[in-house]
């Protein structure tokens, strides 16, 4: 039995009471699980994530977190201001900043060097972040979050605007690092097929609510549920462990 690390009870999310985006959400998140948060554009995925992270206050309901629960967060890359020439090392070092901290400690520097070495990005250490490809930018942001040693890693549409090669690279990368550490992942995307092949549970965001699918391996159930939620008839084919969706 996995440990529960976060519980949401009757949560209402939105920017103000007149603009409720999601309503009556209740679910739990367990350690080590990989959750796919899927929904059409502007369905409320980012609002939901921001509420869980505490960036937006819940309109109603409760978010009960384990004591000392730590979040890692990878925002959508277009939200990062790339005006200034930050190096990859500087971007990674932001993980250790606190409100009152003058300089990086020796252990912090060691941790950055270790992660650079372990994930083979030594050549990129002093490269400018803004000059990297979309896939590499995501990789750097994911590594920065890992430096926080999170219990839950939240990724907001990390494969948006990425080509097929980079999308696969990012997802395989997350899958591989998850094998080492036991943190939960919430992966938001509007690409159902991509997410479906990596996650343990699916959260379908649609029409102001979240429908949770616990059994992603049961193809028939999955097909019925997705068709019902998105109101489109779909077919799912499984070829060599990879699920293909046909609308």
Partner 1 sequence: MNTILEHLTQNLFLKSLIIGIFSSITLSLLGIFVVLKRAIFITLAIAELAVLGLVAGIIISFNAYLSMILVTFLGLCLFSFYKKDKNFSEDSLVGIVYAVSFSLSVLLLSKTNFFETYILDVLSGNILIVKNWDLIFSIFIFLVSIVFFILFNRQLFFMYSDTHTSYVFGINYKILNFIFFIIVGLNIIFFLRSIGLILSFSYLVIPCSFALISSPNIKQLIYKNLIISVVSTILGLIFSFIIDLPSTPTIVVFLFIFGILFSRVFKS
Q: Give me the least distance between CB of 23 and partner 1, in Å please.
A: 20
Whichever of 132 and 216 has its CB closer to partner 1, that residue is 132
Q: Give me the least distance between CB of 67 and partner 1, in Å please.
A: 16
Whichever of 132 and 204 has its CB closer to partner 1, that residue is 132
CA dihedral 183, 117, 74, 138 (to 10 degrees): -130
Whichever of 88 and 229 has its CB closer to partner 1, that residue is 88
Q: CB atoms < 10 A from the CB of 217, how many?
A: 9
Residues 171-230 close enough to bind partner 1 by CB under 8 A: none
Whichever of 80 and 247 has its CB closer to partner 1, that residue is 80
3-state secondary structure of 183: coil
User: At what angle are helices 134-146 and 164-180 packed, to 10 degrees?
Assistant: 20
Q: Is 84 in the site for partner 1 (CB under 8 A)?
A: yes
Q: Give me the least distance between CB of 52 and partner 1, in Å please.
A: 10
177 within 8 A of 110, measured Cβ to Cβ:
no
**Binding-site member from 10, 60, 85, 149 for partner 1 (CB under 8 A):** 85
Q: Give me the least distance between CB of 14 and partner 1, in Å please.
A: 13
Q: Which of 211, 218, 210, 185 is nearest to 199 (CA)?
A: 185
**Binding-site member from 41, 83, 120, 179 for partner 1 (CB under 8 A):** 83
**Binding-site member from 7, 20, 58, 87 for partner 1 (CB under 8 A):** 87
**Binding-site member from 73, 187, 206, 230 for partner 1 (CB under 8 A):** 73
Q: What is the C-alpha separation between 141 and 160, in angstroms, rounded?
A: 14
86 within 8 A of 129, measured Cβ to Cβ:
yes
Q: What is the C-alpha separation between 223 and 32, in angstroms, rounded?
A: 25
Question: Rounded to the nearest 5 degrees, what angle is found at the Cα of 88, between the Cα atoms of 86 and 94?
Answer: 75
Question: Rounded to the nearest 5 degrees, what angle is found at the Cα of 32, between the Cα atoms of 24 and 195?
Answer: 70
Residues 36-55 close enough to bind partner 1 by CB under 8 A: 50, 53-55
Whichever of 188 and 229 has its CB closer to partner 1, that residue is 188
Q: What is the C-alpha separation between 208 and 228, in angstroms, rounded?
A: 15
DSSP 197: T
Site string for partner 1, 9-38 (x = CB under 8 A): ------x-----------------------
Residues 131-150 close enough to bind partner 1 by CB under 8 A: 141, 148
219 within 8 A of 187, measured Cβ to Cβ:
no
Q: Is 120 in the site for partner 1 (CB under 8 A)?
A: no
Q: Is 99 in the site for partner 1 (CB under 8 A)?
A: yes
């Amino acid at each position: 039995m996995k440990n529960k690390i976060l519980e949401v009870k009757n949560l209402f999310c939105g920017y103000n009471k007149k603009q409720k985006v999601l309503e009556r959400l209740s679910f739990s998140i367990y350690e080590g699980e990989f959750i796919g948060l899927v929904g059409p554009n502007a369905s409320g995925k980012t609002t939901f994530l921001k509420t869980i992270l505490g960036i937006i206050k819940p309109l109603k309901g409760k978010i009960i977190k384990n004591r000392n629960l730590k979040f890692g967060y990878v925002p959508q890359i277009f939200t990062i201001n790339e005006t200034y020439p930050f190096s990859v090392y500087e971007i990674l070092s932001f993980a250790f900043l606190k409100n009152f901290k003058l300089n990086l400690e020796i252990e912090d520097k060691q941790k950055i060097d270790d992660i650079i070495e372990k994930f083979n990005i030594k050549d990129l250490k002093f490269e400018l972040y803004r000059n990297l490809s979309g896939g590499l930018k995501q990789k750097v942001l994911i590594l920065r979050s890992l430096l926080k040693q999170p219990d839950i890693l939240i990724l907001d549409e990390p494969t948006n605007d990425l080509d097929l090669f980079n999308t696969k690279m990012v997802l395989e990368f997350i899958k591989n690092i998850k094998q080492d550490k036991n943190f939960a992942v919430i992966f938001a995307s509007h690409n159902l097929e991509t997410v479906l092949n990596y996650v343990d549970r699916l959260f379908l965001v649609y029409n102001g609510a979240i429908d949770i699918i616990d059994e992603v391996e049961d193809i028939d159930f999955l097909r019925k549920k997705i068709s019902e939620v998105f109101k489109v008839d779909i077919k799912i084919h499984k070829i060599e462990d990879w699920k293909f969706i046909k609308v």
